[in-house]
Chain A
């Protein structure tokens, strides 16, 4: 009896804490049902695995973006960093299989370092992350273009396994993205520094008063974001077989959509990476559905915008003007 009451009381609480995830799952359900009525092939395992495969890049960037937004900031340098990472990957490997491991490691380190640099500048210069990462984005795009004005280098055949490889029909890249998401979710939930990310994003002033180290927290989130961008760059180099200087340009703003759809507040402090992963999946699923319905690519943008408006209308940011 008591257990029943407790569970009844607990359900709304759980829902309240995970309204974002619940909302996005409902939307995924709606799209799935619509899809099933449109085509028999929509809800097949093969199609859904394809959708997962196509979600990989967006999921990877958005995981990092979620962290910066949770901490009350934003990372607008992601697009340029992805471009730089993809160019460096294929340019430095240049078809030589022996160089894959060292170059990939170096690129991941470089990405994390750029993230740390963002955090350092935010703290040292006392400038809003929006401005710092915007400036960093311009600088990185310039550097990328100095390195390569067009497609550069190539990756060995085996490297494309990252993008197209399947183990027992399960796409490798997407699995890695899910694993990364799981790790970050655990980090946010169980590490003190992870909890502090929420504290800082919820109320920076109180976080300072209780003695949280803003610098460390920011280094963690921007470092992770940089790492995720580098990973996306590697993935895109693997997918296209070559690095391109503008390959990441659309991800800067696109990476924010899944975060918002997943119920993370843009003002920080509430949300999580699992919602983001679902949000990224929802976008790919929606595009897939529109493809099935033979809707032109142009209307897919309209649909995306409308679904964001729908989502933000469901969970209004309840902070307002305090």
Chain B
């Protein structure tokens, strides 16, 4: 793949100040937000609150990373929240003891593989629009989950998952360590591997990608599987955080993860995005929500602020993109 190697060098070499600002400008907004939070309310920067922030940050960030893979190949994954809830239901379907964790992981991985493949196959082989394909799997998963639990899921989350979801190691939540691992591995995969290059080429121009001899369908399906797998992981973590299960674990994460990606400059039209962007976008959302809470603004205002942020961020990027070319 000499073609993809050339792409890799040309993209990695663009380290000018402008390119840096363009790519990581939103990352600079984050320290500003943190400083503002510290100024407005001293309790914001307390170790306890920051640790709490990390705890809430991890699940959303993990989902957002998966969402960014799908968005880079011109897709959208609306089924992530349903996948999260399904993983949570699976987590409580066993006896609730630690020796079942391996089984839980295996079943969850299989379901995630099936869901991601179904999404990917519908999008590539049947040419269903990603929005519709993932909407259908969302409804399907929801229905199967309801049918399986008869509407009232019960059972216990194994202690090991509870530790993963809510415990801390010297102030740093375990789920953040998981997130760190996921981010580093997938960051290398996306930004430093031939596979990652191919993902960007497929998203940038599927036709060119095909002419390069890249298996467009396979790459796209892989991205959907990655998204479902990460959503399942986030669902397990969240079920450990909540400690009990209902049918709606992860509700709202599909939209929040899309918002995180858009704020983090992952392009809705594909071909552009980064793990760091997705992480930063997720962090901005969590920090804003936390500040709103600490400032005593009515909780309803959170939604209004979130709405304004997403539209404003998208408007900012579209201006820059159209003016620069």
Distance of A309 Cα from B137 Cα, bound (Å):
9
Nearest CB of B to A168, in Å: 37
Contact B311 A313 (CB under 8 A): no
Residue positions of B touching A, CB distance < 8 A: 76, 78, 122, 126-129, 131-132, 135-140, 142-144, 146-147, 150-151, 206-207, 216, 255, 258-259, 262, 268-269, 298, 300-311, 314-315, 318-319, 322
Residue among A135, A143, A257, A298 making CB contact with B146, cutoff 8 Å: A298
Distance of A56 Cα from B150 Cα, bound (Å):
28
Closest residue of chain A to B310, judged by CB? A135
Residue among B259, B298, B304, B315 making CB contact with A139, cutoff 8 Å: B304
Q: Which residues of B contact A146 (CB under 8 A)?
A: 298, 300-301, 304
Q: Which residues of B contact A130 (CB under 8 A)?
A: 76, 131, 268
- The stretch among A39-47, A121-129, A174-182 that forms the contact with chain B is A121-129
Closest residue of chain A to B144, judged by CB? A302
Contact A313 B126 (CB under 8 A): yes
Contact B143 A305 (CB under 8 A): yes
Residue among B127, B269, B302, B318 making CB contact with A319, cutoff 8 Å: B127
**Which label, helix, strand, loop or mixed, suits the secondary structure of the B interface?**
helix
Decide yes or no whether A256 CB sits under 8 A from chain B: yes
Q: Which residues of A contact B76 (CB under 8 A)?
A: 130
**Which label, helix, strand, loop or mixed, suits the secondary structure of the A interface?**
helix
Size band of the A side of the interface?
35 or more
Q: Which residues of A contact B137 (CB under 8 A)?
A: 305
* Binary flags per residue of A277-304, CB closer than 8 Å to B gives 1, else 0: 0000000000000000000111111111
Contact A302 B132 (CB under 8 A): no
Nearest CB of A to B34, in Å: 23
Contact B136 A135 (CB under 8 A): no
Distance of A303 Cα from B144 Cα, bound (Å):
10
Decide yes or no whether A321 CB sits under 8 A from chain B: yes
Residue among A149, A303, A305 making CB contact with B136, cutoff 8 Å: A305
Contact B311 A302 (CB under 8 A): no
Q: A125-B315, A302-B144 are in contact. List 5 more A-B contacts (CB 8 A).
A: A135-B309, A256-B132, A300-B143, A304-B143, A305-B137
Distance of A142 Cα from B126 Cα, bound (Å):
38
Nearest CB of A to B304, in Å: 4
- With A128-B268, A146-B301, A266-B132: A136-B319 Cβ-Cβ less than 8 Å: no
Contact B318 A127 (CB under 8 A): yes
Distance of A73 Cα from B146 Cα, bound (Å):
32
Distance of A136 Cα from B308 Cα, bound (Å):
8
Q: Which residues of B contact A253 (CB under 8 A)?
A: 78, 135, 138
Nearest CB of B to A118, in Å: 10
Closest residue of chain A to B269, judged by CB? A128
Q: Which residues of B contact A186 (CB under 8 A)?
A: none
Contact B128 A312 (CB under 8 A): yes
In A124-167, the 8 Å CB interface with B consists of 125-128, 130-132, 134-143, 145-146, 149
Q: Which residues of A contact B126 (CB under 8 A)?
A: 312-313, 316
Residue among B207, B308, B319 making CB contact with A126, cutoff 8 Å: B319
Contact A301 B302 (CB under 8 A): no
Distance of A300 Cα from B139 Cα, bound (Å):
10
Closest residue of chain B to A143, judged by CB? B304
Contact B301 A305 (CB under 8 A): no
Q: Which residues of A contact B300 (CB under 8 A)?
A: 142-143, 145-146, 149
- With A126-B322, A127-B318, A131-B310: A298-B143 Cβ-Cβ less than 8 Å: yes
Q: Which residues of A contact B303 (CB under 8 A)?
A: 138-139, 141-142, 145
Residue among A145, A300, A312, A320 making CB contact with B132, cutoff 8 Å: A312
Decide yes or no whether A306 CB sits under 8 A from chain B: yes
